[in-house]
Amino acid sequence: MANKTVTLTDNTTGKSIELPIMDPTHGNSVVDIGKLAKEFGYFTYDPGFVSTASCKSTITFLDGERGQLYYRGYPIEQLAAKCCFLEVAYLLLNGRLPTEQELSEFQYIIGHHNMMRENLRYNLIRGFNYDAHPMAMMTGIVGSLSAFYHDNLDIYNPEHRMITSHRLIAKIPTIAAACYKHNTGQPFVFPQNHLTYCGNLLHMMFAVPCEPYHVDPVAEKALDVLFILHADHEQNASTSTVRLAGSSGANPYAAIAAGVASLWGPAHGGANEAVLKMLAEIGDVSNIDKYIARAKDKDDSFRLMGFGHRVYRNYDPRAKLIKEVCHQVLAKYGDDPHLELAMKLEDIALSDEFFIERKLYPNVDFYSGIIYKALGIPINMFTVMFAVARTVGWISHWKEMIDDPELKIGRPRQLYVGEAHRDVPDLADR
């Protein structure tokens, strides 16, 4: 850290303090306001934490202005081109890419932690209504793992933390597939350890006992790339939720379940569902001009979903990669009328001054839903697929946080604007 400071002066009292400036590897410098409350008696006000760094991290960095994303210093484009998902998972967990032997060992560990407890499958999953939303089931089931794996779980023991990480990464696809099978009324399909991580998920979702199932390499590769792109994304809402829940020392399975619940929101992991619903509402290319006009009308409730991002002010680098995957998938599984709509909307967004001025470029959700739909994955499972991929990011951040000697329980402050003081009247006088 450089020895730089910013001087803050209270114009009411004339008192000044020096606040340290912390320099990052990438991105904006950060002002350490830790002594602001003690010295001045003030808190900062930052709704949505748009200008607040809540932690130090070495895991992921995104440059919103340049449209760049790095996992542990590696550009996302290189990882998507040269690595499989489990290589990236190992990288996020351990801080470096695995050797061939380390990858083989990691694949073996993940492959042999992927079973679910039978009483969990028979009693808990079957207890949900047949049409329960898969994300509701995921939240409950992941949280319930804390009741199955609580013995010998010392979160301050590095070995225990790694075992927990392996269990979550391994079991989350099995849980996701079980939720899908419960919705469809089909029998549960057990994992196959000879398959890849994504191949296994496809097998557990779509295989049936009455005929053989062969994993399509096109679908397998598409899912692998999508999972790499969704694996982590810095301090987003769900990752911050995991950190906040985990900062109390809560069971890590409960903390990850909190992340699943946060991801479910339509402004976060549910955005790709919203994209397909929007495309279905537009219906045909001939209707695009009308809906573009509605999107520009601030008094109209219609919004173009899949455009713009809270952090990116440039083309989302993940969207570029997903667009390529989308064409590969549709070349195998046939054209989707939604693709023509999507491409036309993208052309408009990249050429229309309204979108350019507001930097509303297509984001990662814009094409991912079309890919999932082409692979036969229903809309209500889209966010589940996101959760499967993002679990490795969540658990990596949880591990990093627990290992941080500066860890404090999360406790945001507030600007109270309620009643100052009221005396409670007697019941008869109210």
Residues assigned a catalytic role: 309, 365
Which amino acid, 416?
A: Y
Enter the tokens of residue 24: 């990052």
Q: How many CB atoms lie within 10 A of CB 259?
A: 31
d(Cα 366, Cα 321) in Å, to the nearest integer?
12
d(Cα 130, Cα 119) in Å, to the nearest integer?
18
Instruction: Give the three-state DSSP class for 368.
Output: helix
Please tell me the chain's helix, strand, coil percentages from 3-state DSSP, rounded to the nearest 5.
55, 5, 40
- How would you classify residue 394: left for phi > 0, otherwise alpha for psi between -120 and 50, otherwise beta? alpha
> Is 349:361 a contact under the CB 8 Å cutoff?
yes
Identify the DSSP state of 103.
Answer: H
> Is 294:281 a contact under the CB 8 Å cutoff?
no
Exposure string for 242-258, b = 16+ CB within 10 A, e = fewer = bbbbbbeebbbbbbbbb
Angle at CA of residue 400, ends 165 and 412, nearest 5°: 115
The runs of H, that is alpha helices, within 334-406 are 337-351, 353-358, 364-374, 382-402
d(Cα 304, Cα 138) in Å, to the nearest integer?
28
> Is 84:224 a contact under the CB 8 Å cutoff?
yes
